[in-house]
Structure 1
Amino acid sequence: MSASQRHERAFVRTFFTSPTAVEGKDDSAAMLRRAAQLRGMEAPDVWVPDNEDATAPSMRDEGAENIIDVVSEHGADVPGEIHPRVVWHRDSPETRYQGFQHMLEIADPDRGALEHLDGFVIPEVGDIDDWKKADEFLTIVEREHGLEERRLGMSVIIESGQAELALADLRDEIGKPTNNLERLFLLVDGEVDYTKDMRAITPTGGLPPWPELRHNTSRAASANGLIAVDGPYDDIRDVDGYHDRMTANRMKGMLGIWSLTPGQVTEANESPLPPKTGQWMLDVGDRAVELTETDGRYVYEGDDLELTRIDDETYRLDVGGDQRELDAAELRETLVELTEYSPSLGDIVDSMERFEAAKDAGEGAIAMERSARLVVGDTTVTITSDRMWDEATYQAAKTPIDLFQDVYEHRPDQRGALRDRYGESVVERAMNVG
């Protein structure tokens, strides 16, 4: 069963937490109110009023009341889903009970917030039995308030070795009549507490990268029709680092990430979307360099690659000190190997429409040709590459289109920005392809 069959959203790009109560303020819910009024690309797919780590322990009872007040007032206009985070801990019955009491209060239909709530986020879970305890508490909340079973979604934060190991148990547990784990929605990594739980040490005191945790979380989400979300990137000024993390995550199938500021929300909302324009890149050894388009030509402006014409038939190519003499055919073949193309939304739509037309005409596979004029120094070389498209290629290319369609359908507040970014025609075609 896919995530889209159990939940309205098949993709979540942004998971944005806000303190529920700030001590010493005239209005302790001020940050909560500001977050509830974010719109467009600044507004997350999932908003998390955070009554755990972002809120001081002495303020959490007030925080629960603030969630009720703010969500009751603004929830109808919040463009994303609303999933408050309550306290929980695998080793503390007292903490679990406090979280249960807050869920009872927040989900009380008579208090006004419930109609806008989509679920709760449960932190610090342990092994699969602990996940089932949280699920049982949510079932009790639903029965206490006369709600349909699984009316409330449950997202968990993977912050311990126990929780990571529990990911492997989900396929055997979801769907059993003895639990309601089908309510699961997001699997969110929490690398800070995970690092503490693993007793990891780095020379600088920073967090290890934990690529295995992100892979395991993404794999579990894929296997169980859930959605994987990476943990917080706390250097909020390091935009390039945030982008690099998101790029690495997307190659693992993890399209969502925790956002700590509206600025990070905007970056994370836009980053998974296909580019507005296609981009040629040249591999110069240890990195891919974007080529600059000028009058239909793609120009390399770096110093790591040199191309010199020796005579009419021979060229000298120097890549990072590796020097070779090549004839024209060998040069074109080498440059094809060194170049990559990042397709725009329009490019993806074009290719999918062509394949759909070929399939309707009875063809099972077609070659897609792409060419470009590359300029290196004073030399211009035209390269052409072919890629064979079959049904498997088509389905793989469909993922960014599925994401685009999911965003366009569920985030009406972002439709204007999408039309401005891609143009009306491309948006319309993207919504009809596939």
Structure 2
Amino acid sequence: MTERRHDREFVRTFFTSPTAVEGEEDSAKMLRRAAQLRGMQAPDVWVPDNEDATAPSMRDEGVENIVEVVSEHGADFPGEIHPRMVWHRDSPTTRYQGFQHMLDVADPERGAIEHIDGFVIPEVGDIDDWKKADEFFTIVENEHGLEEGSLKMSVIIESGQAELAMGTLREEMGKPTNNLERLFLLVDGEVDYTKDMRAITPTGALPEWPELRHNTSRGASAAGLIAVDGPYDDIRDIEGYHERMQDNQAKGMLGIWSLTPGQVVEANQSPLPPKTGSWLLDTGDGEVELDSEDGVEVYEGDRVSLSETTDGYELTVGGSTQVLDSDELHEELLNMTAYIPSMDDIVDSMEEFEAAKEAGRGAIAMERSTTLRIGDTEVDIATDRMWDEATYQAAMTPISLFQDVYENRPDQHEELVEMYSEGVVERAMEVGL
């Protein structure tokens, strides 16, 4: 993995707020609410959105609202602040308007820029278009006496051109003719991407676009940046939101766009290791989480049954029955089960491997065992997993995420201690160092 180019190694949440609401006595009311979010309700990156979330007729007022609200509340906001400006690869007029808005927001005499970490640029095209945006950032910095490269640039991938441009970043970043090292987030925008691709679905719903999400995660990893998925519009579908995040996390995309403070809470917590470990059983129709009762993992569904016979065991899964001896049953149940480790489990394993490495051992076996109860039958299962340096480094990713969150979000310390306990938090902050 390429070394990260900014202090933040992870961004879990990307939360947008309209900069000006038409027809309201206080057009900045949504900005004021967002600026006062704290703890798990506050995002890692807050995006005052002067593009799609704000009507074109309100965008000049939106810039004034950004300056006013960020000047007043920016010092106390616990995450980073990255306003989204207007931009379009095919419209010089739109690009110029975005440039003028950046100049207004970045004026040091207006008091907002000292709390702003960068800007988000939507609707980018090929790599030359990214360079145009970067050049405007450089001009803004020079115009206002800011350190060159101090403003981060995040882009939203909303076109085939932008998707292909990610493949050239490694070659382009670091050239003396640009300041593309300022790049921070690569954010998917599936709605406009669908429009650009002229995609159609029978229901009119957005395609899943797993290839785009994979390509964005790969592009971010190769260039030392951070990948963020686009918005999940059905804000009441918490289960679907979780499934989307889990699918993303398996691609290395740990961040997601959040549309409400409730989604922010879910997305802030989702990539963190769970408080308690849990066993899963594959019933042939998906995995179910087992109930833990006095150290025994209990399955109470009707798709799997197990009974002991004079010759061994009968295991039925979805109507298909196997007659197995003790060893065969053990092997079959190992194939059907999986364990989700808790934060404490991960830290325990890493500490054990660190101690073994200190003693000169390059690999060790770690056992995971439990007792399963299916119906009235109980069976002990156990498996050994070999840990070497590669396993250790892979296990470090969720711990590195936790450490990054703890270091950058002191407003969440109390909730994290409540979630895991003070002892586990202290150990998690020490492991891997």
Q: TM-score band, normalised by the shorter chain? A: over 0.9
- Aligned partner of 1:424: which letter? E
Q: Tell whether 2:207 aligns with 1:228.
A: no
* Counterpart in the other structure of 1:264: 263
Alignment of 1:191-206 (within 5 A): 191-206=190-205
Q: Tell whether 2:356 aligns with 1:358.
A: yes
What do residues 348-385 of structure 1 show as CA deviations (whole Å, max 9, x unaligned)?
Answer: 00000000000000000000001000000000000001
Rounded Cα–Cα distance in structure 2 between residues aligned with 1:405 and 1:208: 35
Tell me if the contact between 1:307 and 1:318 (Cα under 8 Å) persists in the aligned partners. yes
* Counterpart in the other structure of 1:429: 427
- Aligned partner of 2:303: which letter? D
Alignment of 1:317-396 (within 5 A): 317-396=315-394
* Counterpart in the other structure of 2:59: 60
C-alpha RMSD of matched pairs (Å): 0.8
- Aligned partner of 2:9: which letter? A
Q: Tell whether 2:406 aligns with 1:408.
A: yes
3-state DSSP class of the match of 1:273? coil
Fraction of identical pairs, as percent: 76
Alignment of 1:14-413 (within 5 A): 14-311=13-310, 313-413=311-411
Q: How much has 1:3 moved relative to structure 2?
A: 5.8
Provide structure 1 residue ranges, at least 5 long, that are not aligned to the other structure: none
What do residues 27-75 of structure 1 show as CA deviations (whole Å, max 9, x unaligned)?
Answer: 0000000000000000000000000000000000000000000000000
Rounded Cα–Cα distance in structure 1 between residues aligned with 2:215 and 2:425: 34
Rounded Cα–Cα distance in structure 1 between residues aligned with 2:75 and 2:286: 46
Tell me if the contact between 2:2 and 2:222 (Cα under 8 Å) persists in the aligned partners. no
Instruction: Give the TM-score normalised by structure 2.
Output: 0.99
Q: How much has 1:309 moved relative to structure 2?
A: 1.2
The size of the alignment, in residue pairs, is 432
Tell me if the contact between 1:229 and 1:254 (Cα under 8 Å) persists in the aligned partners. yes
What do residues 272-312 of structure 1 show as CA deviations (whole Å, max 9, x unaligned)?
Answer: 0000000100111231110000111000111111111112x
Ranges of 4+ aligned residues in structure 1 off by more than 6 Å: none
What do residues 236-287 of structure 1 show as CA deviations (whole Å, max 9, x unaligned)?
Answer: 0000000000000000000000000000000000010000000100111231
Rounded Cα–Cα distance in structure 2 between residues aligned with 1:166 and 1:199: 19
Tell me if the contact between 1:3 and 1:185 (Cα under 8 Å) persists in the aligned partners. no
Q: How much has 1:78 moved relative to structure 2?
A: 0.4
- Aligned partner of 2:356: which letter? A
Provide structure 2 residue ranges, at least 5 long, that are not aligned to the other structure: none
Tell me if the contact between 1:3 and 1:9 (Cα under 8 Å) persists in the aligned partners. no
What do residues 194-214 of structure 1 show as CA deviations (whole Å, max 9, x unaligned)?
Answer: 000000000000000000000
Q: Which moved more, 1:300-309 or 1:246-255?
A: 300-309
Rounded Cα–Cα distance in structure 2 between residues aligned with 1:322 and 1:107: 67
What do residues 103-144 of structure 1 show as CA deviations (whole Å, max 9, x unaligned)?
Answer: 000001010001000000000000000000000000000010
Q: How much has 1:185 moved relative to structure 2?
A: 0.1
3-state DSSP class of the match of 1:186? strand
Q: How much has 1:322 moved relative to structure 2?
A: 2.2
What do residues 366-407 of structure 1 show as CA deviations (whole Å, max 9, x unaligned)?
Answer: 000010000000000000010000000000000000000000
- Aligned partner of 1:348: which letter? I
